[in-house]
A and B are shown apart, each in its own frame.
Chain A
Amino acid sequence: MLTRKGKIYSFTIVMQPPGSHYKGPVPYAFGWVELPEGVRIETLYTGCDFQELHIGMKVELVIEKLYTNDEGNEIVCHKFRPVKE
């Protein structure tokens, strides 16, 4: 099992709607999080004002809605949000 908490290795806030495939809200933020086990994973960021994001920020894993599909089902995915100290 990997730790659910890690640190932001890099991030970006996407301000322009990407290609038609993407179904989430805009702007959105994503990047890479480094876990203590030495693993780096790509993830969306959530649970904060994106302007607060910075390299080295402590974040934790959450499972959250990405979008609602045509059948009305919620599609969820992994995201990381800042740890409340």
Chain B
Amino acid sequence: MREVVVAGVGICRFGRYPDRDYQDLGREAVMNALKDADFQWKGIQAVFCANAYSGMGVGHNIAAQIGKTGIPIVNVENACSGGASAFRLCYQSIATGLYDVCLAVGVEKIPGGLLDDTSWPEYERDMGFNVQPANYALDIQRHMQEYGSTVKQFAMVTVKNRKNGVLNPYAGFQKEVTLEEVLDSRMIATPLRLLMCCANGDGAAAAILCSAKMLKSKARNVTVAASVLTSETYGNMKGAGSINIHNPDRTELAAKQAYEASGYGPEDMDLVEVYDTMSSAELTSGEKLGLCKKGEYGHLLEQGTFDLGGKLPINTSGGLMSRRHPLSASGLAQIAEILWQLRGEAGPRQVAGARLGMAHCLGTPGNCAITILKK
């Protein structure tokens, strides 16, 4: 397998765009990525486009805005891990020598409110089981019972991430929230309140990957140390099935694979983007990633360990809490943050001397993608 480099990234800031179509949002992200990488469109050899909400041919329609060069375009649907999955397809294509330059783009225009998650069986949708905050609520209820984590702790995740988001020009929300505001926001699914749930949004993100020889500036050499994707295992997810089956879950499995592939461990990371679709998920996933022992995340958070300037900054971008969440674009926005940090281009939220970073995302009905980038 060849070394693969991330040549550039681009984002169309996440928000609400009633007057723009997804083609336009996708084009903006791709053009930004081309500019960042100093590549031309005609140099792109293949496109993998992630989308969940806009029907067929999304990647083709975005590419058509820029140029019809006849290259292969594959549309990828992998829910919230869609962007990271498209990134991995680029990685695979280049690592195996099939192409030298590939583009991953994720784009979404989605409705507000609770999403009607269509990945669940019809009868479970009838019964209202397919509510994302509720499913994360079931997880954190167990965590509170088993490890004594508190509502205040995952409210603090929101406060931390929204504080970081103020420093990110691409964040949809660039305004701090107080602990009181989080704890007083309306209840969505006990114990998760509105400000503990990320907001949906429209937007796009893109990344250009290439073989080492194609990189324009060697000074900007950031390589893919690992790009893995897993699905759920028996005994996990929805708590269903037998209580006697104990397998690593999708995040634990992906973390193990990513650490093995990269040769690094959680203790080597300078920063991590942990999937905070609900603030409680940063806590539970952070532990599953091995960033600390089970039951410790909340305590370390209270001590400032995961703050910008702390021992291990988590979600320096502001996370999904600040960015908003256009499903298929979020994974690539996480990767963009890691890249900017490793290049030293993260401005006021820069982690000094960052050389190794990891991005983790989760998707329904049971997937997990982890990307590790290395300077």
Contacts and interface: CB of A to CB of B under 8 A. Distances in A.
Interface in A2-51: 9-24, 28, 30-32, 34, 38-42, 44
B131 interface: yes
A58 B50 CA distance: 45
Nearest to A30: B129
B133 to A, nearest CB: 8
Interface residues of A, number: 32
A55 interface: yes
A75 interface: yes
Contacts of A10: 138-139, 141-142, 145, 239
Nearest to B115: A19
A40 B240 contact: yes
Given A12-B141, A14-B134, A44-B127, A19 B243 contact: no
B239 to A, nearest CB: 4
A18 B128 contact: yes
Contacts of B186: 15-16
Interface in A44-74: 44, 55, 66-67
Of the four ranges (under 10, 10 to 19, 20 to 34, 35 or more), the interface on chain B belongs to 35 or more
A42 B239 contact: yes
B154 to A, nearest CB: 14
Given A17-B114, A19-B115, A40-B243, A30 B127 contact: yes
Interface in B99-138: 113-117, 123-131, 134, 137-138
Given A21-B125, A22-B126, A42-B124, A12 B189 contact: yes
A83 interface: no
Contacts of A17: 114
Contacts of B95: none
Contact of B114 (A19, A28, A40): A19
A13 B189 contact: yes
B47 to A, nearest CB: 31
Nearest to B128: A22
B18 interface: no
Given A15-B188, A18-B130, A40 B138 contact: no
A55 B145 contact: yes
A59 B230 CA distance: 35
A16 B186 CA distance: 9
B247 interface: no
Nearest to A34: B243
Contacts of A14: 128, 131, 134, 188-189
A58 B141 CA distance: 17
B24 to A, nearest CB: 27
A15 B141 contact: no
Given A17-B114, A30-B129, A75-B126, A12 B134 contact: yes
Contacts of B191: 12
26 contacts: A9-B239, A10-B145, A12-B138, A12-B189, A12-B190, A13-B190, A14-B131, A14-B189, A16-B114, A18-B128, A19-B115, A19-B130, A21-B130, A24-B128, A28-B128, A32-B238, A32-B240, A39-B243, A42-B124, A42-B129, A42-B238, A42-B239, A42-B240, A44-B128, A55-B141, A55-B142
Interface of A: 9-24, 28, 30-32, 34, 38-42, 44, 55, 66-67, 75, 77
The 6 closest A-B pairs by CB, nearest first: A19-B116, A12-B137, A32-B239, A22-B128, A21-B125, A10-B138
Given A14-B131, A18-B131, A21-B126, 20 more contacts: A9-B142, A11-B141, A13-B189, A14-B128, A14-B189, A15-B189, A18-B128, A18-B130, A19-B113, A19-B115, A21-B130, A22-B127, A23-B126, A30-B129, A32-B238, A40-B239, A42-B124, A42-B129, A42-B238, A42-B239
